[in-house]
Amino acid sequence: MKKFFVLLAPLFLSAFLSARPEEPTPSVNNDVMWHTITVIDYKPGTTDAAKALIQKFETASVTSGTILPEIYWFESGKYDLVVTWKLQNGPADLQEKWSPAGDTWWNALVAQEGSEAAAKKLQADYNELVASSVTSVARKAK
């Protein structure tokens, strides 16, 4: 999950890919909600381009009916964007490489862009804008 999350499908693939936290993955607890939180720093002068590409990823998500992450654009500080995803199945979501919802989203992106090659290029173009990112896993009592 970190690779795509950092890349861009971070906004939309991260919920479907597997993250590998440095710490052991805790067991499922029904009284806890789990999230991934990613902060992204774009290369200087590329934030507007990132926003335009993110809009394309969001459109594919809406078309496919997949869940959008919460995103917040920073006004100050080191990072430009924070993306949070609720892990629907708790820490178990971190173990899967790709989910059926990820396939649904990817198919919508491919259709939107006209080909798999075009969708991969869109992803690569986004990845080129990212200077750095950090992904963490968090939990919150229900």
CATH number assigned to the domain comprising residue 41 = 3.30.70.100
Q: What is the mean pLDDT of residues 7-36?
A: 56
Q: How confident is the model at residue 28 (pLDDT cuts 50, 70, 90)?
A: low
CA-to-CA dists, residue 71 to 20, 44, 51, 83, 119, angstroms: 21, 20, 11, 5, 22
pTM for the predicted model, two decimal places: 0.75
Domain of 86, in residue numbers = 2-141
Q: What is the mean pLDDT of residues 80-87?
A: 94
CA dihedral 95, 101, 107, 108 (to 10 degrees): -130
Specify the pLDDT at position 96. 62
Locate the DSSP E strands across the chain. 32-42, 70-73, 81-87, 130-141
Q: What is the mean pLDDT of residues 7-18?
A: 42
Q: How many domains does the chain have?
A: 1
Of the given ranges (24-28, 32-36, 44-48), which has the lowest mean pLDDT?
24-28
